[in-house]
Structure 1
Amino acid sequence: MWGFSFLLIKVGTQVFAPFQVTFGRLFFGTAVLAVAMAVKRERFPRSGRVWAHLAVAGLLLNALPFSLFAYAELTIPSTLAGICNATSPLWGMALSLVALSEDRPTRRRVAGLGLGFLGVLTVLGAWQGFSGLDFTGTALALLASLCYPIGWIYIRRTLAGSSSSHLSLTGAQLMLATGQLALVTPLFTTFPTSFPVGPVLAVVVLGALGTGLAILLQYGIVAEVGPTTGQMVTYFVPVIATAAGVTLLGERISWNTPVGALVILAGAALTQSRARQRAGTPAPAEAGTPAPAGAGTPASAGAEAPAPAER
């Protein structure tokens, strides 16, 4: 579902403005979570402080990156957007070294960070002067990927220990993000003059499945197999995004795109790996639940923090 998000964004923006696509996905994603909350009889948080922090989280993890990806795909292929999304763990690792004192650098993680950004340069074709690359669109996609770890760190700092359930917090967060887009969209767009079936269905599926249902599935995955295994989804998203863009949209890629993507994923894997423990030494505790980030990168968000609604 997260891998196809980039294809659906591309289809949606063929007719609708980027803000309209983002508002649609947030609206339908919120609707799915609202139904889930009603079925489970979950209640929204009551604390004003929690709502204020969730408003910031909704901006950083949903409204802003969703919109940036939509604008990016006006000028870059969905395949490139999906690969840029895979840099989120690299940004997260770099930021956590500065913002989170408990995340100390290791040789393995620093090597993974360097390898990952070498992969980014490979995808962008740095040796040929980035020729043929839309700089603005690529920069917007990379900025969108940077938003996720900033949001995760913010949640870890402000909402760890909240008594509300993950579903309640995420539902409120997504609803606040929808409200933010409801305010912004009319200011920068005009009402669509037509509603073709294809783009409309793309936005509905993007929101209901890729943003709403995928979050609910992620909860089940984490509960069953744990956050570490749940993070494996990170490495499938760009593969599926690339396959979908090439086979269904006819997008062309050069050799450096898949090679660079593999290098990025290898670097991301190193930044999240841990050295093997010696016999008799207890393994470190998990940092927290993976947070579905936008198009689909999970990350550790803190033991009691909500799982931010996916890309």
Structure 2
Amino acid sequence: MTSSPAHRSGHAIELAWLAVLATLWGGSYTLIKLGVATIPPLTLIAGRTLVAGGLLLLILRWRGMALPRDGATWRRFLFQACLNSVVPFTLIAWAEQSVDAGLATILNSTSPVFAFLLTQAFTPVPPTRRQLAGVAAGLAGICLIVGPQAFDGLGRQLAAQLAIVAATVCFAGAAVFGRNFQALDPMMPATGSLLCGAAILVPLSLCFERPWTLTPSAGSVFALLGLAVFCTALAFVLYFRLVRTLGPVGVTAQAYLRVPIGVLIGALFLGESLTPGVWAGLACVVAGVAAMAAPARRVRAPR
């Protein structure tokens, strides 16, 4: 059975939201780099989760909605928070004190591969050739876009780079675990997990970094607010919606889009030129994302 025009239109909308999510998270690395210039990593991420969770809670109340009260759901929120914010956000913020934002983006763009491998490990569904081709095309596109010069710093600051890879594995696990919230409005797990993350990070920040003694710059404060409102609150709502509609592998495919989006922004606003290799890489990335995020084709059942 072929998909209807309405079904194709709905999927196109989800892919558009996927591009928005990639743009929001693609810009987060630059904001983190600006933030950690004068705000320590734990305090930056504690503020990010606290402001974002508080904002979403206010929006929930405005919509007349209430968070679940059962312990089982909140335990899932807590586990999701550790996978999706507490551990990876902190690792990336710590690593970007010594690693460039561009290299962090590149290392973190491999999350679809880990999500694909985790999905295959925990579900009996065999991979399709289209999905395997999508993984390969996305990685090839990243290599074409960044070129070998982008990896000049690879091997230096090894601990920081491994921290970003560990954060990438966490993001992939969060996408797989996020399927447990399909029965909830996307704002519910977004708000609940961020509040759980803030409950963990704020006490740690108070104990180890004493934020009341800091004198952050205006640039770092604005970076923190941008991270909280756009790259976290808004992005998390989109994220849980897309986990439900595109699946864990499909939603992590936005990681491939972060690099070409950054390249295009640089070309439009900074006058950077695009080489033929970059255009070829863009084509590979778009093809890879489409292959990984496309819905499975349904066949007509025999009569």
Give me the TM-score of the superposition, normalised by structure 2.
Answer: 0.73
SS in 1 for 2:25: coil
2:194 to 161, 174, 178: 174
1:19 to 42, 56, 71: 42
Cα deviation code 1:156-181 (max 9, x no counterpart):
3xx3565x533223211110011111
On the 8 A contact 1:12/1:202 being kept in 2, the answer is yes
What's the RMSD between the two structures over aligned residues?
A: 3.9
Kindly tell me: are residues 76 and 105 of structure 1, through their superposed partners in 2, closer, same or farther at Cα, counting changes over 3 Å? same
The aligned residue for residue 203 of structure 1 is 224
Matches within 5 A, 1:1-311: 1-101=24-124, 103-117=125-139, 131-133=152-154, 134=156, 135-156=158-179, 159-160=180-181, 162=183, 164-191=184-211, 192-216=213-237, 227-228=245-246, 231=251, 234-242=255-263, 266-273=287-294, 276=297, 280=300
SS in 1 for 2:26: coil
One-letter identity of the residue aligned with 1:194: T
Distance in 2, matches of 1:34 and 1:41, equals 11
Kindly tell me: are residues 272 and 213 of structure 1, through their superposed partners in 2, closer, same or farther at Cα, counting changes over 3 Å? closer
One-letter identity of the residue aligned with 2:230: L
Kindly tell me: are residues 258 and 4 of structure 1, through their superposed partners in 2, closer, same or farther at Cα, counting changes over 3 Å? farther
SS in 2 for 1:4: helix
Question: Gaps spanning 5+ residues in structure 2: where?
Answer: 1-23
Shift of residue 3, structure 1, vs aligned partner: 2.5
SS in 2 for 1:194: coil
Question: Gaps spanning 5+ residues in structure 1: where?
Answer: 283-311
Give the stretch that moved more between structures: 77-86 or 262-271.
262-271
Distance in 2, matches of 1:178 and 1:250, equals 39
Kindly tell me: are residues 218 and 272 of structure 1, through their superposed partners in 2, closer, same or farther at Cα, counting changes over 3 Å? closer
On the 8 A contact 1:87/1:268 being kept in 2, the answer is no
Shift of residue 270, structure 1, vs aligned partner: 3.3
Shift of residue 245, structure 1, vs aligned partner: 7.4
